Each structure stands twice: as structure tokens, then as C-alpha cells.
Structure 1
Amino acid sequence: MAAEWQTAVAEARGAIGFTGEVVPRTVDGIGAALRLDHRADFYTELGALADSGAFEAFLNHWWTQALADSAPEGDAREQAINFADVAVSLYARAAGGPTSTQAEINALVTGAEAS
């Protein structure tokens, strides 16, 4: 899994042109990069995880938040979020996990039906 993650990060970095710092996708790395107001939620959610299947989704979500929190404001923050989205999507595809189209993601966000 680590090899798939590193490949996904490298591909996403190239696709987005991201030059910022990449937060390690570990509990310690994410926890250290989060703003204080997010850190408590992160550790609370970590303590409430019931199964290992949810751990990957947990890491993906909080890794994206950690990248956003550690990036400067403005365009650099947007680029960090875009980079994280692409890296997580590439990793999900490489690991054989579920993937969604942009229309499906938009529908989930808005509560509408995907077309």
C-alpha cells in the first residue's frame, strides 16, 4: 500500500504542479500539521474508529484537511486541496477502492441525483 500511495502522490504532484510540503499520511504527521481547532476533532474521531476499513477513509479525509491547514492562504491553499483530492483519487484507483465521477461527487455534495 505504501508504494501505491507514493506513486499516487508523485502523479498528483506532476498533474497539479504542486510544490508545497507534503504532510506525511500518518496519524502523527497529520496530527502535527492540523490547526489546533481541527486537532481535537481528529483525535476524537480516531478514538471512535470501530473498524480498520474506516481507517483509510479517515486518513484520506484528515490528510486533505492537514494539507489545507498547513498551506498558506489563497491560491497555495486551493492548490494544496486540489493536489490532495487528486492524490487520494489516484490512490483509491490504484488500491482497487471505490472511485466516483465528478458528477457523482457533485450530486453527493448537493444532495441531488447523479446523471
Structure 2
Amino acid sequence: MSVQPVHHQSDPEPRVPRTADGIAAVLTGARRMEFYRELGQAEIGEVEGVLLRWWCEAMLDTDPEQDRIIQAARSGTLPTGTMDDVFRRRRERGGEMPGE
């Protein structure tokens, strides 16, 4: 079996809006409550990190390939890269960088 590259769409509207309400809308039950608890207890400088982490969780929860991604992570076959690689690709696509 070969690994296929993941092609990300440059769709301007992600599956999960990058807002607290957008994140909460796709989380269910206890996960939604945990999100609100973490968000409510975060200090001002931590709020962005909490939102980003839970947005990533919500994106994975709604990914149509979620089962394949989880299986690849568990088996050690999920392609990995450095944050420098991620930031470089994001810049190349015209994306905004954290803190900019």
C-alpha cells in the first residue's frame, strides 16, 4: 500500500468556522462542556491557544477521513513535518501567520 498525498482545498470557508460558536456547534455533549470550561478559565493571553486547539479538534471531528487519519496516527504511518514546513507552506499559499 502506498501513501497518498493529502490535498487541502484553499476553500475560504472551513468546515468549522474559526469562532467559539463555530467550534461549539460541532462538538457534542461532554466535549462541548470541556471546551467552554477551558475557554472560560483561560486567561486573556491563553484564549487564542484554547480556541486554536479546540478548532483543530473540531476540524478532525468533522473530517470525512477521520478514521483513516486516526488509524495512520496509531500505526505510525501518518506523514509528519516540522512547524517550519507548515509555516512555509502557509506563507506560500498566502496564509496569515500566528502573531501577524
2: CA distance between counterparts of 1:47 and 1:74? 31
Instruction: Specify the structure having the higher radius of gyration (Cα).
Output: 2
**2:15 and 2:62 in contact (8 A); partners too:** no
- What is the aligned partner in structure 1 of residue 55 from structure 2? 63
The RMSD of aligned alpha carbons is 3.4
- State which of 9, 12, 27 in structure 1 corresponds to 2:20: 27
2: CA distance between counterparts of 1:67 and 1:75? 14
Q: Which has the higher contact order (CA 8 A, sep 6+)?
A: 1
- State which of 35, 38, 49 in structure 1 corresponds to 2:31: 38
2: CA distance between counterparts of 1:63 and 1:77? 17
Q: Which amino acid aligns with 1:17?
A: H
Q: TM-score, normalised by structure 1?
A: 0.49
- State which of 19, 35, 40 in structure 2 corresponds to 1:47: 40
Q: Which amino acid aligns with 1:30?
A: I
**1:71 and 1:77 in contact (8 A); partners too:** no
Identity rate, percent: 33
Q: 1:35–1:77: structure 2 CA closer, same or farther, 3 Å change rule?
A: farther
Deviation at 1:77, TM superposition (A): 6.4
Deviation at 1:61, TM superposition (A): 0.3
More helix by share: 1
Aligned length: 73
Runs of 4+ in 1 over 4 A off after TM superposition: none
1: CA distance between counterparts of 2:43 and 2:23? 20
Structure 2 stretches lacking a partner, 5+ long: 72-78, 91-95
Structure 1 stretches lacking a partner, 5+ long: 1-14, 98-115
State yes or no: 1:17 paired with 2:10: no
